[in-house]
């Protein structure tokens, strides 16, 4: 059961990774404690998506160690990493178009605290759309489905890549509330990559700022909330990150 395990720490040590011979992440290290929530911000193109994809095993790892609990997962294929407890909500959502909504939810189902009923309770909209095909959904519905699909694999660590990107403000608000519920009601460890600094800083007590494949800041979100000038400097002038959204 995911909520009773105590060794669900994700740790990256001196990770160098990228695509083919191209290195995007340079010597990146951090630890995530059991049940900890972490926000990651940074300008477009600094490697946030690459970081999550690397944890998932979808990029080329050149060097470094990736640990999940006591397990070194660096050499494992993505499906073994999923079984080891990683849940992935990718930036492009990547809903399976030829599966129905319910099939999208069930295809990765593994036993645990998260059940179809609980996901439908969190996102009632998905239940209404359960027989629709994956390619017949609005952006917000796709995002809910991507969340639900990851939750039903009953992960220990949930990786979210810009879950609010491209969504209308009212939908962002709804999803954010659902995410806060998730944060407060489960012992899931969560890493959320987010462009909206305001949402990111409000979501997790700890925030990491990335800059060109490296960690530029890793500390209390409070520090950045209290020092907007520092936040601005870290994220770069005109880098597309506003404190307001």
Partner 1 sequence: MITAALTILFHGLAFAMVLYIVSVGLGITMGLMNFANLAHGAFAAAGGYVVVVATRSLGLPFWVALPAAFVVVALAGAVVERLVVRTLYGADELRQVLFSIALLFMAIAGFTAAFGPLQQQPEIPAALSGQIALGGVEFPSYRAFVIAAGVVILAALWLLIGRTRIGMRIRAAVDNRNMAEAIGVDTRMLFTLTFALGTGIAGLGGGIGADVLSITPTYGQEYLVLFLIVVAVGGLGSIFGPFLAALCIGVVDVAGKYLIPEFGAFFIYGVVIAILLAKPAGLFGVRS
Ligand X SMILES: Nc1ncnc2c1ncn2[C@@H]1O[C@H](COP(=O)(O)OP(=O)(O)O)[C@@H](O)[C@H]1O
Chain centroid to Cα 199, Å, comes to 14
DSSP, collapsed to helix, strand or coil, labels residue 125 as: helix
Select from 72, 94, 226, 227 the one that contacts partner 1 (CB under 8 A).
Answer: 94
Choosing among ligand X, Mg ion, partner 1, none, which partner's interface includes residue 98 (Cβ < 5 to 8 Å by kind)? partner 1
Q: Which stretch binds partner 1 (CB under 8 A): 8-16, 89-97, 119-127, 182-190?
A: 89-97
Quote the CA–CA distance of 154 and 86 in Å, as a whole number: 9
User: What is the sign of the dihedral through the CA atoms of 123, 129, 135 and 139?
Assistant: negative
- Count of alpha carbons within 13 Å of 231, Cβ hemisphere only? 23
User: Are 100 and 111 a contacting pair, CB within 8 Å?
Assistant: no
Residue 144 found at the interface with partner 1 (CB under 8 A): no
> Of all residues in this chain, which one has the CB nearest to Mg ion in the complex?
49
Residue among 26 and 103 whose Cβ is closer to partner 1: 103
Select from 8, 49, 154, 221 the one that contacts Mg ion (CB under 5 A).
Answer: 49
Return the DSSP state at 4: G
Residue among 46 and 172 whose Cβ is closer to ligand X: 46
Which DSSP helix (H) or strand (E) runs through 193? strand 189-193
Residue among 14 and 79 whose Cβ is closer to partner 1: 79
DSSP, collapsed to helix, strand or coil, labels residue 19 as: strand
Q: Where do contacts with partner 1 occur on this chain (CB under 8 A)?
A: 56-58, 77-79, 82-83, 88, 90, 94, 96-99, 103, 106-108, 110, 134, 149-150, 153
Q: Where do contacts with Mg ion occur on this chain (CB under 5 A)?
A: 49, 91
């Amino acid at each position: 059961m995911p909520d009773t395990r105590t060794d669900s720490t994700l740790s990256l040590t001196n990770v160098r990774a990228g695509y083919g011979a191209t290195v995007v992440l340079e010597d990146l290290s951090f630890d995530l404690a059991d049940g900890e929530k972490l926000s990651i911000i940074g300008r477009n193109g600094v490697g946030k998506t690459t970081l999550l994809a690397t944890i998932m095993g979808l990029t080329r790892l050149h060097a470094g160690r990736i640990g999940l609990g006591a397990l070194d997962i660096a050499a494992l294929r993505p499906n073994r990493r999923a079984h080891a407890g990683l849940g992935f909500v990718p930036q492009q959502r990547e809903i399976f178009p030829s599966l129905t909504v319910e099939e999208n939810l069930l295809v990765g189902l593994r036993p645990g605290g998260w059940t179809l009923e609980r996901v439908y309770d969190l996102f009632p909209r998905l239940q209404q759309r359960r027989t629709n095909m994956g390619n017949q959904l609005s952006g917000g519905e796709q995002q809910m489905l991507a969340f639900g699909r990851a939750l039903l694999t009953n992960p220990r660590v949930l990786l979210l890549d810009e879950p609010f990107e491209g969504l209308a403000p009212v939908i962002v608000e709804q999803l954010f509330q659902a995410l806060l519920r998730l944060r407060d009601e489960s012992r899931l460890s969560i890493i959320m990559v987010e462009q909206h600094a305001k949402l990111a800083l409000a979501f997790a007590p700890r925030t990491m700022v990335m800059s060109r494949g490296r960690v530029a800041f890793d500390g209390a979100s409070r520090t950045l909330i209290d020092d907007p000038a520092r936040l601005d400097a870290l994220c770069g002038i005109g880098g597309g990150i506003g404190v307001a959204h």
